[in-house]
Structure 1
Amino acid sequence: MFQIIGLVLLFGMVFGSYAISGGKFDVITHAAPHELMAIGGAAVAAFLISNSIGVVKSSLGGIGKAFAGPKWKKQDYKDLLSLLFALTKTMKSKGVIALESHIEKPGESTIFQKYPKVLKDHFATDFICDTLRMMTMNLEDPHQIEDAMEKQLEKHHHEAAAAPHALQGMADALPALGIVAAVLGVIKTMGSITEPPEVLGGMIGGALVGTFMGVFLAYGIVGPLAARLQAIVDEEAAFYKIIQSVLVAHLHGNAAQISVEIGRGDIPSSAQPSFLEMEESLSAAPAEA
């Protein structure tokens, strides 16, 4: 919502001030299609040259995400902590044998099935199951497991951050591409140097539209979208960091409820449930725990 409001303000303030100051839109509307073709086409071409197909796809999806916001909401954090509570309590009270059926086939697990959104996230599910599987294989050194989890988180975050980095690269290139379009316009103008001043003025104005559009797109649209997407990627990374916090706390011998409380402290403030809200969620944890 705020992104749409921002775009409306962007166009309203920039072009509104131009109109109020007596600017004429016919120069912009006449030159804009050709300038956009040069600037936008070059930007897209450079984007395709510098990125893999996977990054291109995730960047296109990331534009929608920049408007939609993070996929993890307050209820999802509560569900994640409740899931981890059920799993760690099962492991502590019934042993690793009782846990094996849940981590080997999480899609068939009565614990995982109660939290479908977490189960649907392949990285979250694999991250939980792989870590618990290491614990069942008698790898109980908290520092070793924490280090292994940290490396997985770093790799996942690096891959997720490729899309905003690619968009930011496009934003950085747009002003220079605007200058390229403007130079082409100047070359065209110099070829018509014998024309009357009013004709030359219109041609020079059209050339400057290229510089304007490159800077406008870079700092008004693409750059802010890249920054917003990076913020969302960072916030979503906190969801997976909670898994690490809870499972490492469990390895240090804490009770399941204490481990969950440690994880609750890592939740972003805007989505953090209160202690009482978590108590209610934990009371609804699957009976297997």
Structure 2
Amino acid sequence: MFGVIGIVLTFLMVFGGYSLAGGNLDIILYSLPFELMIIGGAAIGSFLLSNEMTVIRQALTGVGRSLKGPRWHETDVQDVLCLLFRLLRIVRTSPVELEEHIENPEASPIFQVYPRILADEHVVALITDTLRSASLNYDDPYQVEEMLSQRIGLINKEAMHAPHALQNMADALPALGIVAAVLGVIKTMSSIDQPPEVLGKMIGGALVGTFLGVFLAYGIVAPFAQRLNAVTKQDQAFYDVIKSVLVAGLHQHATNLCVEVGRQSAPEHIRPAFGDLESSLRELKRAS
């Protein structure tokens, strides 16, 4: 919501202020399609040239993510803590039963209760692979913690490719605007025999290229890149919550304590209240 408001406010203030100051929008509107073709086409072409297809797809979906905000919310943290609570109880009471849940999580009645978590392959793989390793006697908490940190680091590194690619595009747009302006000046110099009023409009059209490059860079693309960067980092904290619970479980702490460690490791804005989580855990105990 605030992203859409920001875009509307940016356009309104820039072009509204220009019009109220007596500026003539005709020159901008006439030159805009051609300048946008040069600058936007060159920016998109260089973006395609410098990035792999996976990064391109991430960037395209990332624009929508930056407007929607972080994927994981307080309810999701509470759900994953309840999921881990149930799985850790199975580990302690019936390790053989655990296999059916971690080998085929899509068919697991425990995972199916939490469809948003089940839909994220990274989260599911992180949980199942760690529990599988523990079942194979790879249960040194410090080694598992290091393994999880490395794995989460790789996930985070891949997720940051998209905001970095958008930021690189933003950095290139002012220079591409200068390219468009230079081409406009070249066009103007080829018509040097025209009257001053014609030359003035042609020079103004050439300067639209510089304006457009800077405006797109710092008014549109860079804010999207920064917002996507922030959203991605907020979502990454979700994996750290999972890691904290699993490592605490390998230290043989009580299951409730493991979940509490995970709750406290969550950022404050998505951390479920202690009372709400306790109520959910009591319901799970009664149901079992």
TM-score under structure 1 length normalisation: 0.97
Quick check: 1:170–1:222 contact (8 Å CA) kept in 2? yes
Compute the displacement of 1:240 (Å).
1.0
Q: Deviations over 1:141-164 (max 9, x none)?
A: 111101111111011111111111
Could you say which residue in structure 2 is the equivalent of 1:176?
A: 175
Residue 288 of structure 1, CA deviation: 8.3
Matches within 5 A, 1:86-101: 86-94=86-94, 96-101=95-100
Q: Which residue of structure 2 lines up, in the alignment, with residue 4 of structure 1? A: 4
User: Residue 106 of structure 1 corresponds to which residue in structure 2?
Assistant: 105
Per the alignment, in what secondary structure is the counterpart of residue 71 of structure 2? coil
Amino acid of the structure 2 residue aligned with 1:185: G
Q: Which residue of 2 aligns with 1:70?
A: 70
Cα distance between partner residues in 1 of 2:183 and 2:123: 51
| Aligned positions of 1:51-66 closer than 5 A | 51-66=51-66
Give the counterpart letter for 1:135 in structure 2: A
43-52 or 258-267: bigger deviation: 258-267
User: Quick check: 1:111–1:288 contact (8 Å CA) kept in 2?
Assistant: no
Distance in 2 separating the partners of 1:27 and 1:240: 51
- Distance across 1 between alignment mates of 2:32 and 2:263: 51
Provide the identity percentage.
52
Task: Give the aligned partner of residue 259 of structure 1.
Answer: 258
Correspondence list, 1:1-289, <5 A: 1-94=1-94, 96-285=95-284
Q: For 2:285 and 2:86, how far apart are their aligned partners in 1?
A: 7
Q: Distance in 2 between matches of 1:85 and 1:248?
A: 13
Give the distance between the partners of 1:88 and 1:235, measured in 2 at CA.
26
| Residues 1:269 and 1:246: Cα distance change in structure 2 (over 3 Å) | same
Change (3 A) 1:287 1:159: farther
Cα separation, 2, equivalents of 1:266 and 1:222: 33
In structure 1, give the amino acid aligned to 2:129: D
What letter is aligned with 2:13?
M
Q: 1:73 and 1:21 mapped to 2: Cα distance?
A: 45
Of the structure 1 ranges 261-270 and 202-211, higher mean CA displacement relative to structure 2 is found in 261-270
Q: What is the distance in 2 between the residues matched to 1:141 and 1:269?
A: 30
Counterparts of 2:29 and 2:139 in 1: how far apart (Å)? Answer: 67
Once the 2 structures are TM-superposed, how far is the Cα of residue 107 of structure 1 from its aligned partner? 1.5
SS at match of 1:111: helix
Residues in 2 aligned to 1:284 and 1:58: alpha-carbon distance in whole angstroms: 39
Looking at structure 1, the residues matched to 285 and 84 of structure 2 have their Cα atoms a distance apart, in angstroms, of: 11
Task: Give the gaps of 5 or more residues in structure 1.
Answer: none
Cα distance in structure 2, aligned partners of 1:266 and 1:225: 28
- With over 3 angstroms needed to count, the CA separation of the structure-2 counterparts of 1:159 and 1:72, relative to structure 1, is same
Alignment partners' CA distance in 2, 1:43 and 1:20: 31
Deviations 1:119-162, CA, capped at 9 Å, x for gaps: 11111011100000110011111111011111110111111111
Contact map agreement 1:114 1:286 (CA 8 A) in 2 = no
Deviations 1:230-289 (A, max 9, x none): 111111111111110100111112111111111111222222111001012212337786
* Distance verdict in 2 for CA 1:103–1:286, change over 3 Å: farther
Distance in 1, matches of 2:77 and 2:258, equals: 14
Residues 3-47 of structure 1, C-alpha deviation per residue, up to 9 Å, x if partnerless?
Answer: 011111101111111111110001100110100000000000000
2:23 alignment partner, SS class:
coil
Paired letter, 1:193? I
Structure 2 distance, partners of 1:209, 1:17, is 16
TM-score, scaled to structure 2? 0.97
Residue 98 of structure 1 and its aligned partner are, at CA, apart by 2.5
Distance 1:18 1:3 in 2: 23
